[in-house]
Amino acid sequence: MDSVPALPRVVVTGLGVVASLGFDVETFWANILAGRNGITRVTQFDVTDYACKIGAEVVGFDPAGYMDPKEVRRNDRYTHFGFAAAKLAVADSGLNPAAENGDRVGVIIGSGIGGMHTYEQQLKILLERGPRKVSPFAIPSLISNMCSGLVAIELGARGPNFSVVSACASSAHAIGEAFHALRRGDADVMIAGGSEAAITPFSYASFCSMKAMSTRNDEPAKASRPFDRNRDGFIMGEGSGILVLETLEHARARGARIYCELVGYGASCDAFHITQPDPQGRGLSLAMTRALAVAGVRADQIDYINAHGTSTPYNDKFETLAIKHVFGEHARRLMVSSTKSMTGHLLGAAGGVEALICAKALQTGEVPPTINYEVPDPECDLDYVPNLKRSAPLRIVLSNNLGFGGQNASLVLRRME
């Protein structure tokens, strides 16, 4: 009987980020390890009448440094972030797009909400000035796949191209689907991650009405406190995290620098409630179990988990429970941290930024902290790497992301050996 050929190995060769804590990976990573906080009072609109008045805004970013000024005007803020992060990731990878076979390069960039700025602006124009004044670029600007499309045009990437929309799991799913595309042989290179820019009046009003966001407005830097007993809701962030993924064969052939290997991906649905996670953690447990199985690693081989850790009462409690279900006694030896304590919650971009953090953790042997961890919660009783980074010989790490609708995604990354 003929043997089944081994699936291609997938490696991470480029990283790009635009976030409140930096517009380049080294600045961003230094701020993460230092436990700095990117959350302040929102400046993009008047928050006087809003219950939550704080967020992790991207301040001082000029998209014209990455994109033609004409395209800047035509496209939404979320696309500005994703396009810039993708260009930064490709530059970091050392890829020469002009030298690549564009048929073998793909792009999957997720977004939970897409062009919310454009939607609100153009709806206001419609209501105040009439239908003839609505921009012909409104729909192309606000749809969630536009960032993937524009990046492909920039790179000449004719491979698989789409967006993933699964709320706050969007970019983790995007990375996972890119992983599968490479393992299926659909491409040699995939640019994958997510982008979000949902700090807008309508978005804030909606989340405030749900009572999902923190109202610790007098202490912005202390408002995001995942796993802490006094957590009271998430704080929205904005930005983008993009990874360049390649088959190991392709990366080695061009002499690429490799950050780490992406070895596992698991996806599932709670099938329980549109916003509340399954109180038994069954859906997330299934995603983590599937990711470990694809990676071919045992639960006790995981050294660190970058948790979804939103700083909401339900999420942090149920994610802790799911980790205990999957890892058993090893859960007590794991390091678990939530970098949303510093970046805020980037919604559909969270998974991209947090996968990037995992790649840097494997490269440097530094584990980022959960800041603002002050009062232990008896129902959240794992090692959350409180307040200070930790040096550790990391070999295999896992990243979790959950989204409204019961969406779950888990990624497993391994140090390249």
Where residue 49 sits, what CATH number does that domain have? 3.40.47.10
Q: Is residue 151 within 8 Å of 83, Cβ to Cβ?
A: yes
Whether residue 153 is found in the same domain as residue 20: yes
Q: Using the predicted structure, report yes or no on whether residue 396 has a pLDDT greater than 90.
A: yes
pLDDT tens digit sequence for 226-277: 999 999 999 999 999 999 999 999 999 999 999 999 999 999 999 999 888 8
Tell me the pTM. 0.97
345 an active-site residue?
Answer: yes
What is the per-residue pLDDT for 170?
A: 98
- Check 80, 117, 147, 168 and give the catalytic one: 168
Q: Using the predicted structure, report yes or no on whether residue 314 has a pLDDT greater than 70.
A: yes
Whether residue 123 is found in the same domain as residue 104: yes
What is the per-residue pLDDT for 166?
A: 97
Whether residue 212 is found in the same domain as residue 275: no
Q: CB within 8 A of 416, min separation 6: which ones? A: 11, 258, 259, 260, 261
106, 195, 198: which is closest to 149 by C-alpha? Answer: 106
pLDDT band at 387 (very low <50, low <70, confident <90, very high): very high
What is the per-residue pLDDT for 417?
A: 81
Whether residue 197 is found in the same domain as residue 101: yes
3 domain-assigned:
no
Which of the listed residues 188, 218, 253 is the one where a domain comes to its end? 253
Q: What is the distance between the alpha carbons of residues 39 and 57, in angstroms, rounded to a whole number? A: 7
pLDDT band at 2 (very low <50, low <70, confident <90, very high): low
Domain count, the chain: 2
Whether residue 230 is found in the same domain as residue 347: no
308 an active-site residue?
Answer: yes
What residues make up the domain containing 34?
A: 10-253
2 domain-assigned:
no
What is the per-residue pLDDT for 176?
A: 98
273 an active-site residue?
Answer: no
How much of the chain exceeds pLDDT 90, in percent?
A: 97
- Check 80, 173, 250, 308 and give the catalytic one: 308
**Ramachandran bin of 407, using left for φ above 0, alpha for ψ from -120 to 50, beta for the remaining angles:** beta
Which of the listed residues 253, 280, 314 is the one where a domain comes to its end? 253
What is the helix (H) or strand (E) element at residue 62, kind and residue range? none
Whether residue 223 is found in the same domain as residue 290: no
